[in-house]
Structure 1
């Protein structure tokens, strides 16, 4: 499939807008599509035009669909409610959230049963930890806690915390940052896990909002530790998806709206990649000489695949 072109004079390739033949070729060779959600399926609380019809077309063609989100505020069950509420026909088994990835990672390393997780984040992480039988503290329960900096103040922390999981948290505060810092710095072997390091997120369709990168960055700054990232573009998420769904990477196409998470996730994992301009990345940013992350092709939105709809056999 011809989806790149030689840049004038230097032999480098640049991303190409998908032609009809590119779309048909992608549909022919791909058995499974992994979709980012924010910016590809929806923006905030609004479904992107043409997406329901596109998903129906792909299902009719026998494609496997997996919906992946770095947003950890909801569990898979919580995201299923969002899909259903938006009128999208999606099954729970097709959803893979970074909240689930955090719990799955801890399970994969056989996290000690006697240890706890301190959660900087929302209920989605806690619900997924519960399903894995992993004890946890923090989360929304610490949302209203304040630190009174009186003379000699010392904040006690739980020495049984063996991991701190940091996800997007609309109620992050100084208490949570200090508690996470104490656990990571003072509990021997305590893990620092980030669901993702996204700079921005789409909480509403009106604007971009500060993402989990701001929460993770605060704790990186106080601990001088780099986190284990389990969401896109980390290898763990892709390996876990491929294993869970019994997929070969050559069968998969990653469809996203972010270069540094979605497309990098696909490129690093050896997947085909499609960038949709319906979310964070603009065409100007994609084609900028400063950008080195190139999808196999790009299109205005997922609905552009409808052009390649194959007729149903009589």
Structure 2
């Protein structure tokens, strides 16, 4: 059955849908926010859900912000959330490594926010010094060697990724005892209203192919990531939980794997045409052009 626009179904069907869940898990980018800006109408929709007694948490693949920066963005856009309400991959990575009693350094292909957060929680991070412009393959040798002080390679979206840095990660991963952790698996991510950025999926996929290693995935759509979500939000009953996202292959697939109800919004990475032709596995029952439309249906 094709997804139905929630804004066009009878009021009785909207009411039945809203009554079918107690908890809501929102993705952030492309659902609540575009870059640093809140999507029009989102604040009213979130507040309407809270007024109805819905428990709301945020589940994102975005590790571009530290805990402090998440608090700042919520304050800036006047959403009544704190960093305690949001799960992002860096939190899951920290929990994973602490549970492993990790005592080496991590080699991070990711943004400075991730590095800062790892250090804040006592996890050492290898300080990679990138090489100058190289003219020949032999010039790589001094920059891609192994270092036995490194015990984990963490892969996320790295805006400063270079070929030598990627090669060093591959070299380190030849050791089977090195933890291989992959965070966000998105192929694209929304950035502002006019374009999408290339996601970290291709970085992790490249390392998988050239090393033959399978990573632990601590981001959507991984069930391992959901296990961390459940440890933090113990009230969640999947059958009574709605997941709201903008991506088919991360958000909707995550919801399918975790047995959550699904609502797709079209303000992020997914177009109407793509949604209407997607597989049953990732297809939502309902969609909205924007989460900002939801409060209009409830009032």
TM-score higher than 0.5 here? yes
User: Is 1:238 matched up with 2:226?
Assistant: yes
Q: Measure, in 2, the Cα distance between the counterparts of 1:289 and 1:207.
A: 21
User: Is 1:296 matched up with 2:296?
Assistant: no
5+ residue gaps, structure 1 = 1-12
Query: Secondary structure of 1:254's match?
Result: strand
- Is contact 2:140–2:164 with CA below 8 Å preserved after alignment? no
Q: Deviations over 1:183-214 (max 9, x none)?
A: 101x3411211112211112333211111113
Query: What is the aligned counterpart of 2:26 among 35, 39, 51?
Result: 35
5+ residue gaps, structure 2 = none
- Is contact 2:253–2:281 with CA below 8 Å preserved after alignment? no
Larger mean Cα displacement after TM superposition, 216-225 or 259-268:
216-225
Query: Secondary structure of 1:208's match?
Result: strand
Aligned to 1:212: 200
Aligned to 1:54: 45
Larger mean Cα displacement after TM superposition, 115-124 or 254-263:
115-124
- Is contact 2:264–2:284 with CA below 8 Å preserved after alignment? yes
Query: Secondary structure of 1:89's match?
Result: coil
Measure how far apart 1:68 and its partner are.
1.8
Q: Measure, in 2, the Cα distance between the counterparts of 1:47 and 1:16.
A: 25
Query: Secondary structure of 1:102's match?
Result: helix
Q: Deviations over 1:63-103 (max 9, x none)?
A: 22112221222223222222222232211210111222222
State TM-score, norm by structure 2. 0.89
Q: Measure, in 1, the Cα distance between the counterparts of 2:278 and 2:123.
A: 46
Larger mean Cα displacement after TM superposition, 205-214 or 74-83:
74-83
User: Is 1:199 matched up with 2:192?
Assistant: no
Measure how far apart 1:147 and its partner are.
6.9
User: Is 1:96 matched up with 2:82?
Assistant: no
Indicate the RMSD between aligned Cα atoms, in angstroms.
2.2
State TM-score, norm by structure 1. 0.85
Measure how far apart 1:233 and its partner are.
0.4
Aligned to 2:74: 83
Query: Secondary structure of 1:14's match?
Result: coil
| Count of residues in Structure 1 that have an aligned counterpart in Structure 2 | 292
Q: Measure, in 2, the Cα distance between the counterparts of 1:218 and 1:246.
A: 35
- Is contact 1:46–1:205 with CA below 8 Å preserved after alignment? no
Which gives a bigger RCO, structure 1 or 2 (Cα 8 Å, sep 6+)? 2
Task: Describe the shift of the 1:269–1:153 C-alpha distance in structure 2 as closer, same or farther (beyond 3 A).
Answer: closer
Q: Measure, in 2, the Cα distance between the counterparts of 1:152 and 1:271.
A: 47
